[in-house]
Amino acid sequence: MRNWTASRDYCLQRDADLVVINSKEEQEFVKVLGGIYWIGLSKRDPEGTWKWVDGTNMTSSSWGPGEPNDYYGAEDCGATQLGRWSDERCDRLNYWMCEKVVVLDHLETELNKEVMRGGEEEEEAPVFVNSPSSKMVSVGNTARFSCSARGKPEPTIEWLHNDRPLKRDRTDDQSEPAVWMDGADLVIRGVRSGVETVRCVANSRAGTASSDPVKLYVYGKIWTWSDPRPDGWMYFNHSLYFISTTERNWTASRDYCLQRDADLVVINSREEELCCHDNRYYYYLKQELVSVLGFFCWIGLSDRDPEWTWMWVDGTNMTSSFWGPGEPDDYVGAEDCVAVWWDGWHDERCDDLNYWICEKVAVL
């Protein structure tokens, strides 16, 4: 993640630029991106006029609800998430997407050069094409982690399981091993409830690349969201949850929950203290479930009262957390409420408009 200017510089250094979305097909193409990505749209020069990085004016748009809102008069750069555009502070750190024209004649020339050189290639250090992400699995079932990298020569994939190198074959003196490699993939069979660590390593003579460690949560029962009831509430481990389809600020979102004998969802480690090992990892699973929604959702955490102390709406202190990269950052001292996203928790301005999740005890 980089700010808008640094993201554009990255593209320009590669004979490209931030993506210009000037067709319906291109808008559909970027619609699948789950994170917030910078696009080549800004109103920095001249102020007040949205223009693309290729100098053209914005003639059509796909702004999200309430966007652009130029919050605090400081949001001059454009970003997209799930196809919805938003204006953002240009110094915010987001992912980005570059775009450049494919010149087929140039590619053919380069291929011919490779043939003339007899296939000799310059060495390139490994770079991940895709890396593993955290998963959940119930005891007795398996989870598969995938990882691939490019480079010259082609790198080999190795795995670290709980910080220990994994052998490529099943010669671990077990007739049914719990961990093994299937091609380049890592397969882990859940043996007992717990949390395991996984890391992918790409090796070649040009260098080594290591992925960030990810978690495998192994639990004793299959916890899943139930199908929504007629009133929209879903059941999960003795509680009912409601995921909104509209956006409100934090206070209005909580009011909605309170009017329905519920409150904003609490994701705390108190469940770890319960009697059974199945419940010990319940709060990990709860966080995983709410983080797959793909959009910002208010949760019941804030530091509004007392200031500087993160507390849940049920009055308990925050004893464990799932903060996203660089969070909480309390930007301009005005971010006192928390929303969950796919990469973790984010402190946000309490008057921002987001979706929300209510929670209440299920009375069966």
How does pLDDT run across 58-75, given as a tens digit for each residue?
888 889 888 888 887 788
Strand partners, 196: 216
Considering the chain, tell me which residue range(s) the CATH 3.10.100.10 domain(s) occupy. 4-99, 234-361
**Helix (H) or strand (E) run with residue 27 in it:** helix 24-30
Indicate whether 329 pLDDT > 90.
no
H or E stretch at 219: strand 214-219
Strands 95-96 and 37-44: parallel
Average pLDDT, stretch 355-359? Answer: 91
Task: Please give the CATH architecture assigned to the domain spanning 124-219.
Answer: Sandwich (2.60)
pLDDT tens, 158-179?
999 988 887 655 444 444 578 8
H or E element at residue 195: strand 194-204
* Dihedral in degrees, nearest 10, Cα atoms 19, 23, 29, 33: 50
Average pLDDT of the segment spanning 229-253: 84
pLDDT at residue 109, rounded to an integer:
64
Instruction: For domain 234-361, give the CATH superfamily.
Output: Mannose-Binding Protein A, subunit A (3.10.100.10)
- Residue 255: per-residue pLDDT: 97
Could you report the per-residue pLDDT of 140-162, keeping only the tens digit for each?
Answer: 788 899 999 988 889 999 999 98
Q: Is the pLDDT of residue 235 over 70?
A: yes
Average pLDDT over residues 171-189: 75
Q: What is the pLDDT of residue 270?
A: 43
**How much is the pLDDT for 106?**
60
Say what the pLDDT of residue 326 is.
84
Contact between 126 and 151 (Cβ < 8 Å) = yes
Q: Is 11 left (phi over 0), alpha (psi -120 to 50) or beta?
A: alpha
Which residues of the chain are in CATH 2.60.40.10 domains? 124-219
Structural contact between residues 342 and 297, judged by C-beta atoms closer than 8 angstroms = no
Which SS3 state, helix, strand or coil, does residue 354 take?
strand
Spatial distance between the Cα atoms of 84 and 70, rounded to a whole number of angstroms:
16
CA distances from 297 to 12, 215, 345, 353 (A): 35, 23, 10, 9
Q: Long-range contact list for 208-212, CB < 8 A, 24+ apart?
A: 208/125, 208/126, 209/125, 209/126, 209/127, 209/128, 209/149, 209/155, 211/128, 211/131, 211/132, 211/147, 212/131
Per the prediction, the chain carries an average pLDDT of 80
- pLDDT tens-digit readout, 257-272: 999 999 999 887 543 3
What HEC string does 81-94 produce?
A: ECCEEEEEECCCCE
227 pLDDT more than 80: no
Residue 226 has pLDDT above 60, yes or no: no
Decide: 161 and 213 in contact? Cβ < 8 Å: no
Q: What type of residue sits at position 356? A: W
| In CATH, 4-99 is 3.10.100.10 | yes
Percent of the chain with pLDDT strictly greater than 90: 27
* Of residues 363 and 10, more confidently modeled: 10
Q: Answer whether 0.85 is exceeded by the pTM.
A: no
- pLDDT category at 38 given cuts 50, 70, 90 is very high
Tokens 């060495």 sit on residue:
123
pLDDT in tens, 123-146: 888 898 888 887 777 777 888 999
